[in-house]
């Protein structure tokens, strides 16, 4: 099979897949839209709740996601200053800050991660505020495994798509000789 033919396991007829494109969907719990990075990729979870960290470790245990943990806004900043993160999952309220504080910090990074906000009782106003301020998604706690995987997958794909376009725009243009 050439790299341009549809993968038989993709579940999509007439589609093409190239080795340099995004990986084929990973089927988890019946969801065919869940993608994960091909190589180990860090993901930051910011929550004061120990149970959230335990659950997220379990969700990402057998994936290529390397989960980093922060319990406070300050801890999250220390990690974000040293490590590149494509996705950050952040509890709406932290002991020393909130999701808006995290968003204001990640927004100025050269390859800003996608921010997923978590809340025990998200309402329409939180959803609207998160999306209008530049956040990526909102998840309800306690978490549901498939929803976490879907949200992180889509956030990562959005981040990867944006930065592949940015990298393409900054490539040196190829110069072609013009015939006389």
Dist. CA 105–CA 151, nearest whole Å = 21
- Dump pLDDT digits (tens) for 56-72: 999 999 898 999 999 99
Average pLDDT over residues 71-82: 95
With a cut of 80, say whether residue 28 has pLDDT above it.
no
Query: Is it the case that residue 34 has pLDDT exceeding 70?
Result: no
More confident residue, 91 or 171: 91
Please tell me the predicted confidence (pLDDT) of residue 152: 96
When the candidates are 3.40.50.2300, 3.40.50.300, 3.30.565.10, 3.50.50.60, the CATH number that belongs to 23-159 is: 3.40.50.2300
Using the predicted structure, report yes or no on whether residue 129 has a pLDDT greater than 80: yes
Tell me the average pLDDT across 82-96: 95
Averaged pLDDT for residues 145-173: 79
Residue 101 has pLDDT above 50, yes or no: yes
**pTM for this structure?**
0.74
């Amino acid at each position: 099979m050439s790299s341009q033919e549809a993968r038989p396991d993709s579940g999509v007829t007439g589609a093409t897949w190239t080795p340099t494109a995004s990986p084929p969907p990973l089927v988890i719990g019946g969801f065919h839209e869940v993608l994960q990075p091909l190589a180990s990729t860090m993901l930051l979870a910011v929550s004061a709740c120990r149970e959230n960290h335990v659950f997220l470790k379990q969700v990402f245990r057998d994936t290529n996601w390397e989960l980093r943990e922060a319990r406070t806004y300050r801890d999250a900043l220390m990690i974000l200053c040293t490590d590149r993160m494509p996705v950050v999952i952040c509890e709406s309220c932290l002991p020393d800050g909130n999701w808006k504080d995290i968003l204001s910090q990640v927004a100025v990074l050269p390859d800003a991660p996608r921010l997923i906000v978590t809340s025990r009782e998200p309402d329409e106003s939180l959803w609207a505020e998160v999306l209008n301020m530049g956040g990526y998604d909102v998840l309800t706690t306690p978490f549901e495994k498939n929803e976490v995987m879907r949200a992180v997958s889509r956030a990562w794909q959005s981040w990867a798509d944006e930065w592949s376009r940015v990298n393409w725009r900054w490539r040196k243009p190829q110069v072609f000789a013009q015939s006389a």
